[in-house]
Amino acid sequence: MTSFSIDNQEHELNKVIGDFDASIKKTKLYFGLVGYKIAMPFILGKFSIQLRLQRSDLNRTVKSLLVDLEKFEERDKMELELDFLHMYEDYSDTVLPLAKTLKKKSDKSFFLNLVINQIEKLHAELKYSSEKITSLVYPNTIDPATNKELFKELIDCYKSVDLSDWKQEDRVNFNSKETVKHGIL
């Protein structure tokens, strides 16, 4: 059930993006550049609304999954977390370049800004959801990079460790292997 809802979300998001691409191509093909210029605000408005609906569906799915997360077995929790990470990476690879391309346009219209805004909000929502599920699946692991105090403690721990014995031991083992290999011993 969980993977179905996540796969369904990913499928719906890909469908929205595919519809956006298809509508742009179809408009250019049938109406030319003039029709494309006229229809573009409507295409962008529709895309923005669809992204907003996808974001609300994603929120609803995540909330229902978080309620039922404790009922899952560990393996199912890990698969769910992996599904979210894949969805976030896929979205980052496909739609974020589109947002960056749209940001570079010099004549930003109201509808274009709406689309860029919705893309960024959906990206932030996916990131938050994947981090939330990761923290619930692996509650004892904290990424030191996200917490400055933990990161400083980690650096201090590495600075205080004396590795000279370990380096010497490794070098001795390596030298003994070399001498055996060359037939010296």
pLDDT in tens, 55-92: 888 888 888 887 777 788 888 888 888 888 888 888 88
| 112 shares a domain with 21 | yes
Residue whose structure tokens are 């409507």: 42
Could you write out the three-class secondary structure of the chain? CHHHHHHHHHHHHHHHHHHHHHHHHHHHHHHHHHHHHHHHHHHHHHHHHHHHHHHHHHHHHHHHHHHHHHHCCHHHHHHHHHHHHHHHHHHHHHHHHHHHHHHHCCCCCHHHHHHHHHHHHHHHHHHHHHHHHHHHHCCCCCCHHHCHHHHHHHHHHHHHCCCHHHHHHHHHHHHHHHHHHCCCC
| 164 shares a domain with 107 | no
Mean pLDDT in residue range 2-25? 70
| 36 shares a domain with 83 | yes
Question: How far is the C-alpha of 150 from the C-alpha of 69, rounded, in Å?
Answer: 28
At 178, is the pLDDT very low, low, confident or very high (cuts 50, 70, 90)? Answer: low
Domain extent at residue 167 = 149-181
| 95 shares a domain with 34 | yes
At 96, is the pLDDT very low, low, confident or very high (cuts 50, 70, 90)? Answer: confident
Mean pLDDT in residue range 37-66? 82
Mean pLDDT, the chain, whole residue set: 74
Number of domains, the chain: 2
| 155 shares a domain with 95 | no
| 56 shares a domain with 99 | yes
| 158 shares a domain with 136 | no
| 118 shares a domain with 48 | yes
* Residue 142 dihedral angles phi and psi, to the nearest 5°: -120, 130
At 14, is the pLDDT very low, low, confident or very high (cuts 50, 70, 90)? Answer: confident
pLDDT attached to residue 17: 74
Q: What is the pTM of this model?
A: 0.58
Distance of CA 173 to the CA centre of its chain: 43
| 98 shares a domain with 171 | no
| 90 shares a domain with 165 | no
Residue 48 near residue 120 (C-beta atoms within 8 A)? no
| 162 shares a domain with 130 | no
| 131 shares a domain with 43 | yes
